[in-house]
């Protein structure tokens, strides 16, 4: 059987790397993108090597997702190398505006060009990649587009523009699902909780927004949930919906490292339906 093919954007580290590694462990060929050149030893190349070491095939591709030409070149490469096959797109790329650490400044005191990062990359770049992915998936009548979104859709989290971008991702998945349904291509959005990224672990903080970091999800855990979605026999019914990773993991019987079951943050963000 030919290995399934995935593209994970923004996969040098954090959630993107964790998703790519989980796919690698399931035998996938995974294209990973990151900004700038990707010399030997760079985080992007190291992440691709981790995918290969896990049992799949990792392919590092330097791509600035603010540049539509670079994105088109990326998808042409995938099409050429994989015979037009793309089974999964994971929209994960994200960019923080300069001086945005802490997300504590109110929107009217921030520069207007915060929009360029949080909407231009955090939303528009996902739309552009989804367009290119659909052009490969629709003719083959198969594929999944998964957005890494956030509880910022439901409640104020980090900043106004952050919440706008995440709400846009969820609505995008919902509406794309309607137009892709006749072609058997599916779309979803997922909400991870607090994730034990390299940056968070290096910071030494014990809790974030009252949630213990020790109970947080690992990046690999998010990837396992994406793997579960791809193989879910009821995926066609789930298409267009948004899901909490911790809740899907319980449904799929997935546990995190050391058998942990990360908590859902749904109640802390108001409870009720997701999207």
CATH 3.40.50.720 fits 5-269, yes or no: yes
Ranges 34-38, 76-80, 153-157, most confident: 76-80
| Catalytic residue chosen out of the listed positions 31, 127, 162, 252 | 162
Could you tell me the pTM of the whole model?
A: 0.94
pLDDT digits (tens, 9 = 90+) for 236-246: 999 999 999 99
Binned at pLDDT 50, 70 and 90, residue 1 comes out as very low
Q: How much is the pLDDT for 158?
A: 85
Looking at every residue in the chain, the average pLDDT score rounds to: 93
Cα angle for residues 170, 213, 254 (degrees, 5° grid): 60
The closest alpha carbon to 209, from 271, 151, 275, belongs to 151
Told to judge if 162 belongs to the known catalytic residues of this protein, a careful annotator would answer yes
**Cβ(162)–Cβ(123) under 8 Å?**
no
Domain limits, the chain? 5-269
Task: Report the distance separating Cα 162 and Cα 61, nearest Å.
Answer: 26
pLDDT digits (tens, 9 = 90+) for 23-75: 999 999 999 999 988 888 899 999 999 999 999 999 999 999 999 999 999 99
Residues forming beta bridges with residue 146, ordered by sequence position: 90, 188
**Cβ(64)–Cβ(40) under 8 Å?**
no
**Cβ(114)–Cβ(156) under 8 Å?**
no
Q: How much is the pLDDT for 101?
A: 58
**Cβ(216)–Cβ(203) under 8 Å?**
no
């Amino acid at each position: 059987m030919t290995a399934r093919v995935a593209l994970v954007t923004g996969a040098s580290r954090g959630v993107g790397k964790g998703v790519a590694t989980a796919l690698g462990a399931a035998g996938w060929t995974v294209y990973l993108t990151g900004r700038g050149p990707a010399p030997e030893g760079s985080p992007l190349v190291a992440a691709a090597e981790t995918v290969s070491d896990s049992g799949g095939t990792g392919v590092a591709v330097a791509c600035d997702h603010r540049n539509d030409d670079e994105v088109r070149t990326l998808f042409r490469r995938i099409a050429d190398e994989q015979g037009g096959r793309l089974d999964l797109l994971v929209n994960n790329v994200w960019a923080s505006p300069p001086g945005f650490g802490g997300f504590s400044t109110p929107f009217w005191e921030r520069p207007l060009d915060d929009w360029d990062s949080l909407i231009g990359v955090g939303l528009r770049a996902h739309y552009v990649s989804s367009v290119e992915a659909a052009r490969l998936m629709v003719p083959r009548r198969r594929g999944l587009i998964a957005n890494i979104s956030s509880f910022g859709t439901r409640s104020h989290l980090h900043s106004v523009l952050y919440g706008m971008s995440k709400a846009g991702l969820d609505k995008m998945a919902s509406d794309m699902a309607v137009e892709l349904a006749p072609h058997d291509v599916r779309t979803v959005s997922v909400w991870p909780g607090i994730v034990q990224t390299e940056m968070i672990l290096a910071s030494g903080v014990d809790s974030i927004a009252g949630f213990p970091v020790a109970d947080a999800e690992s990046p690999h855990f998010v990837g396992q949930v994406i793997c579960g979605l791809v193989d879910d026999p009821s995926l066609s019914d789930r298409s267009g919906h948004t899901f909490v990773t911790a809740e899907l993991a319980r449904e799929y019987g997935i546990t995190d490292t050391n058998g942990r079951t990360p908590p859902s943050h749904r109640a802390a963000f108001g409870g009720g339906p997701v999207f």
